[in-house]
Structure 1
């Protein structure tokens, strides 16, 4: 995994790199102009030597050597060492020709300079040779004389670059950090407050986009919660009518009720079971849509009796199936939200019954822990319906909100479910 670098360090690296590039470039430029300055100094010295030579020639006292310089009217009259170092004479007038030669037997080399000047009497050639030691001493003296100035300029440039980087980082990183803190602190209560000023238009636009996205998400969640509440409330009335009418049919005398017919009786049983499931689902949906789910009522529940009751209610799913059912329970009384426990455990039992066509289902309860295993002996699978799909989602959401331990792991030929409920009374204590 590539480690990401923070923006402020990237900016600092960019500025430091730019500063190093500028310093390196200006150093090369300074070295270039230093050499040009040395050449200009040499050209000036050669020009003055030629002027002295012409003054001597006008006075009748011509000397080929004017101090350390050699002036001749032809190139062949120049010293052999100069002509050997510079085989060709300088081409144009006032053009400096120079050449470096390596020394022998450990001796340092020499630098040769030559120029051509035009005079009334014709061209004049002037040459000068200095040793590398003299060049080193000259450079050393120049550096020594200018060392303090160079140090002051270098230190000043470094401090100025550091100050610029610090100011830029302060002006850019601080608003970005404020934007991050503001985004982390956004919630429903302050979502509609005026936007702070983050100094830069781009950051202000980003803050507006963040708030707009969160507002849209908040509105969507509010619409979903409102839909759940309204739908659940509206479903309560028809469910109550269905259940009341089923109870009314069952309470009629046998001689007045057509429900004595076995087919009609089975239909009424299915309607009764479906209405009971719808009742539990609507109550659970109402609870899930609340802002504070801790208000779900709890009561002492005999967990073993609840499991036996739910197994009886869902046993119809095993009709006409070659399924072996093994139910083992131990007496255990737990303070639980009755509706939520009924929905969760009922969904798990229905899942095992519905998806086992030939095989075995084992339900074991010990204390607060429930194990549900199903093993499919054949490759046939039942189709998921809407109620079962919603039940799976409700199981995951309910166990997460209630703080129960829930695991649904695939096993050979089926699934293995482990549910551990938490006693609400002990949790509050």
Structure 2
């Protein structure tokens, strides 16, 4: 491939890019404005001019009618006629001119309006019971149409008087032609400026988005230290904050996945190694010795139970996080659920030494997903057992009223350090002082409790003192 072809492909315009689309929209908007101006000036100018002229004549006529009784009425007529370029006359009921009069009109017969026209303009006022009317008239001997205002002034000395205003609609063709020539020049300049300005504006608007796109590509390559920079606009800042939040959450998820793989690998490898070792010991050493063989078999069974617990917790975690199971709420008694869960512990001889003190008070009914709440109760009790190796007495309190029901699982175990309390709800968090294999728990139980209770919008938490025990609780709303 030649260098020229590469260069052509590099500068090829991407018609789907935000830069091109913004530029296209700006140019289209500018063109739309210019087209609107063209239409207004060349198509609608004449009708707009006629409307404005009618409005002006009507306004003058109504003002003069309102001032008919004033002493300087004739002066005002003259002023309006001169300043507005209007033909203004006052006629009597016979159509004769009353104002303005020429020098000898008082001594000879005054000019009169043709009776047909007078009846057309003013006779219809009485017939239609109107004060004034506006007409647009074309005369045969005149090239341009006229706007006629015919209004009733009033009755003086038993005679009616009328106001006649005539304004010629002067042609606007010459004006339109001048405006058209100016618009050609203005349109060309405006389009060129629109093309240039819209390009730079579009480039400026799209720059932070392009920068974010490049940053996202770096993130996709595995660089989780990238930072989405803020732009010059509120929306860009909001998007930047959202992407940075998503990046941080993604980083946490990646780290959590690594921890998950490491923890699961460790928790699977250790019991499998123990099972294999004790199996070989049974084969090679303790086979004939029944007592030693049973001891080794108990170790194998215990490690198999640990594996089963880990697998079950992983399955529960997967179901809860992927929301494969919907929340199916029903009303049930929390105390009945407690006894149901305790029966599961009692049939296991590993828990036969533990004593459960149960205190129940008030209305203990709640509305929730029964199977999931049973799982919460099981995990809380199992957690209390795991961290109470010496004092094997566990107190369970259920109390409720018409609005809330509280569940407390109180142990007298090793307790939790203050700095560890916030972390106990995380996945694979187990209280330990070193990186050696913990002897108890999978580190998933409390995380599953937290997830289920948050799905129900139930309040939950723990009160604990290191070396004195813990009180895990949740509060269910009715």
TM-score calculated relative to the size of structure 1: 0.40
TM-score calculated relative to the size of structure 2: 0.37
Which structure has more relative contact order (CA 8 Å, sep 6+)? It is: 2
